[in-house]
Amino acid sequence: MPWIPRGLREGIVTSRYPRRPDGYGEGFRGTMVVHSGRDGDHRIALAAEVCPTEAISIEHGQPRLDRGRCILCGRCAEVCPQVFGFDPSFETSAVRREALVVPDEHEDDEAVEKVRVELGRRVKALRRSVHIRHVDAGSDGAEEWEVAALTNPVYDVQRLGVFFTASPRHADLLVATGVGTAGMLEPLRETYDVMPDPKVVIAAGVDAISGGLVGGGYAARSGLTDSLPVDVFVPGSPPTPFGLLHGILLAVGLLPAGARRGQRPSNIRSLVRTERSAPGPASPEDPPREAGP
Ligand code: SF4
């Protein structure tokens, strides 16, 4: 029984995120950032040229980076390190597609608040336990590794009252990955249709958001945003398990929309209660759930 001394030696490996920041997440290539410093337009233009997914554009002489397209290859940082660089932050999910573009000048506008309030109202009944149906709609498999990692002892998504289910009829959240291959669009739509209301859709990964490197061919769409009403966008190629956790918490209303690095959940008490206790029945004031067709 070698695992007993090993377990005693290593102690508890399960992350405390989001109750506490987790240094484990700092070791990843979380996201690409645009520094305020400039290194000359020609280098920014060169970075835009070498970007394989056209994630970089130049507007009014300023670089703009679309995280919904960025596959984190690092080419821009190689040719223009004064402007582009990696940041370990993984809390980059957003409830608006536009918010993935940095710098985002409209982060606090009325539209964000409207989306946040609407999503919060819709998911009010989901906070005690949440079931996820994951559908791979043409991924390269990278996202699937990260989604599967959510259930391992380090991330242990079940501690937050979040579970995976094989049946879309039992699911609250649809986590969709992949570019949207022609053969998977109908099964994906059918999965969404039979899920009971309220339901939330997460587009996980750049492929699902914009098609990434390979979307847009004769057999695939450029992401899933035209096929599904996406509520939360999780950038990354693939997003890390912490990035996915951030997106899931955002989707069920346990994080403020547009939460940035280091922000803790707004309703931490509700989360702690969920983490400590087994999922219980919904309270009488929660709206009844509607069965899918
Ligand atoms: S890291 Fe992202 S923005 Fe930079 S070149 Fe690669 S895909 Fe483009």
Asked if 173 contacts 248 with a C-beta cutoff of 8 angstroms, the reply is yes
Pocket test for ligand 1, best of 34, 51, 54, 214 (most atoms within 8 A of CB): 51
276 by Cβ neighbours in 10 Å (0-12 / 13-18 / 19+) ranks as: exposed
Query: Which position has the higher pLDDT, 59 or 292?
Result: 59
| CB 74 near ligand 1, within 6 Å | yes
Does 70 have pLDDT greater than 90? yes
pLDDT tens, residue by residue, 223-241: 899 999 999 999 999 999 9
- Protein residue whose Cα sits closest to atom 2 of ligand 1: 70
Total Cβ atoms within 10 A of residue 291? 10
β 101-102/62-66 pair status:
antiparallel
The listed CATH number (3.30.70.3270, 3.40.50.11540, 3.30.470.20, 1.10.3720.10) that belongs to domain 23-87: 3.30.70.3270
Structure-token pair, residue 59: 């507007």
Q: Is 130 in the pocket of ligand 1 (CB under 6 A)?
A: no
pLDDT at 63 over 60: yes
Mean of the pLDDT values across residues 148-164?
Answer: 92
pLDDT of 18 over the 80 cut? yes
- Percent of the chain residues past pLDDT 90, beyond the cut: 37
* The two domains 23-87 and 97-275 share their CATH topology (first three levels equal): no
pLDDT value of residue 110:
67
Mean pLDDT for the chain overall:
81
Does residue 76 have its Cβ closer than 6 Å to ligand 1? yes
- The fold of 97-275 is Rossmann fold (3.40.50)
User: 118 — phi, psi (to 5°)?
Assistant: -65, -45
pLDDT confidence of residue 256: 53
Q: Which atom of ligand 1 is nearest to the CA of 69?
A: 7
pLDDT of residue 38: 58
Spell out the domain ranges in the chain.
23-87, 97-275
pLDDT at 4: 79
Distances (CA, A) of 56 to 68, 130, 249: 11, 36, 29
* Count of residues making up the chain: 293
pLDDT at 111: 66
Q: What is the pLDDT of residue 17?
A: 87
Query: If you measure from the C-alpha of residue 118 to the centroid of ligand 1, how many angstroms do you get, rounded to a whole number?
Result: 33
Distance of CA 47 from the midpoint of ligand 1 (Å): 8
Treating both helix axes as pointing N-terminal to C-terminal, what angle do 241-251 and 142-149 enclose, rounded to 10 degrees?
70
Q: What is the pTM of this model?
A: 0.83
Cβ–ligand 1 distance for 44 under 6 Å, the answer no
Q: What is the pLDDT of residue 24?
A: 74
Does 75 contact ligand 1 (Cβ within 6 A)?
yes
How much is the pLDDT for 112? 67
pLDDT > 70: what percent of the chain? 80
pLDDT of residue 23: 77
In the predicted model, is pLDDT for residue 84 greater than 60? yes
